[in-house]
Amino acid sequence: MNKLLRSLSTPIRLPRPDRSIELYQPGEPRDFPRRTEGSFNRIAFAAAHVVADPLSSGDPWIHAELDWEKTLAYREYLWDLGLGVAEAMDTAQRGMGLDWARSLELISRSVSAARAHKDALVFCGAGTDHLALDAVKGRDDVIRAYEEQVAAIEAIGGRIILMASRALARVAKGAEDYASVYGHVLRQTRQPVIIHWLGDMFDPALAGYWGSADLDEATETALAIINANAAKVDGVKISLLDKEREIAMRPHLAKGVRMYTGDDFAYAELIEGDAKFHSDALLGIFDAIAPAASAALGQLAAGDKAAFNDILAPTVALSRHIFQSPTRFYKTGVVFMAYLNGHQDHFTLVGGQESARSTLHLAELFRLADRAGLLRDPARAAARMRSVLATRGIEP
């Protein structure tokens, strides 16, 4: 009763699209475990965000500094929940504020921390983002760039997620260039990698990836490259927000190659799967909804699909909101969730992207997170929401 009264004592003034103010009453959080017990029957990665250092003297648009203690603590939190960490991906603002030098330091620290954490799983993004795009002349430049990052990650014991390359998208003349680059790089990797197909809704510079703007043709090329190199491919992560394409691809993957859903709109049904196929998970939204994701995966492993869907269903509206167009600004919502839930004591992003979403967007995020039972301390979340709203002209 006292817990309920504390929650009910924290109404908050939230703006509406018609410019009116709603007095919103947060509800009770769902009682998700803080640590998983047992194992899952799906592999599940959360693409983890980074925590900026708000007291750095560097200009955050040019010279991003990280709060290493809070950044690594968040990875420990994800591992405790049984989730793997997909490190130095676009969720961490890779290529969007976090440069290669700091990405490699992040990878090194994360791989080291994983060794000390029982059963911790971490795969790390390797790309070509250290190249100046204007200096890239052809596919050999792209190959050398991939080789450099792969070698650096493997030298510290990291597993590879082969990220999509802006440089390759810029210089490739067709499918044969993609086949040449990926084939060359994959032949050299020490262990099977995860290939990431990131759609242009996440990064406009990747339009026409795999050599065609026609997604059917691009899919055929991607499948041909993956299956020709199946021994070096653990799986493929599809981030196209197109569940039917992901479902259609699954039966055509070579035996042993996993489909990792990157669909932040339809992840529940894709992970559950059908009678023959399912997707594993490598999701940015799992960073923000980690306790719910962990609890749901535990229910799925126990054979309780109804409970799995009961937990995840209310998170989908939140995810669709966080990842709404322009999708590339979703990092703002992911970090805002971490701030509301007390994982960091400020709402500051690498590159100053705390300003990338509107006040109305953040207010609706608060409502949807509350309805999903994901505000683990509603009174604290409300206080933090008020402080952000105050800087945007909404008085408590």
CA distance 364 to 371: 11
The rounded Cα 127 to chain-centroid distance in angstroms is 16
Pairwise CA distance, residues 232 & 211, whole Å: 22
Q: Which helix (H) or strand (E) is 224 found in, with range?
A: helix 215-228
pLDDT at 221 over 80: yes
pLDDT above 60 for 325: yes
The single residue listed with the structure tokens 């050599």 is: 211
Average pLDDT over residues 370-383: 97
* Domain made up of 40-391: CATH architecture: Alpha-Beta Barrel (3.20)
As a whole number of angstroms, the distance between CA 133 and CA 176 comes to 20
Output the CA torsion 354→358→359→361 (10° steps).
-100
pLDDT over 70 (residue 9): no
Identify the band that residue 58 occupies on the pLDDT scale cut at 50, 70 and 90: confident
pLDDT at 236 over 70: yes
Please, which pLDDT band fits residue 64 given cuts at 50, 70 and 90? confident
The pLDDT value given to residue 68: 97
pLDDT in tens, 13-55: 999 999 999 999 999 999 999 999 889 999 999 999 999 999 9
Hey, CA dihedral for 139, 145, 149, 150, is it positive or negative?
positive
pLDDT score of 108 more than 70: yes
CA distance 284 to 90: 9
pLDDT-derived band of residue 396, with 50, 70 and 90 as boundaries? confident
Mean pLDDT of all residues in 182-197: 98
Element (H, E) at 24: strand 21-24
**CA-CA distance, 331 to 349, in Å (whole number)?**
8
Identify the pLDDT of residue 1: 42
**Contacts (Cβ under 8 Å, ≥6 apart) of 119:** 79
To the nearest whole number, what is the mean pLDDT of the chain? Answer: 95
Give residue 167's pLDDT.
Answer: 97
DSSP, collapsed to helix, strand or coil, labels residue 284 as coil
Q: What is the pLDDT of residues 114-148, one digit of tens each?
A: 999 988 999 999 999 999 999 999 999 999 999 99
- Residue 248 pairs in a beta bridge with none
Strand 193-198 relative to strand 159-162: parallel, antiparallel, unpaired? parallel
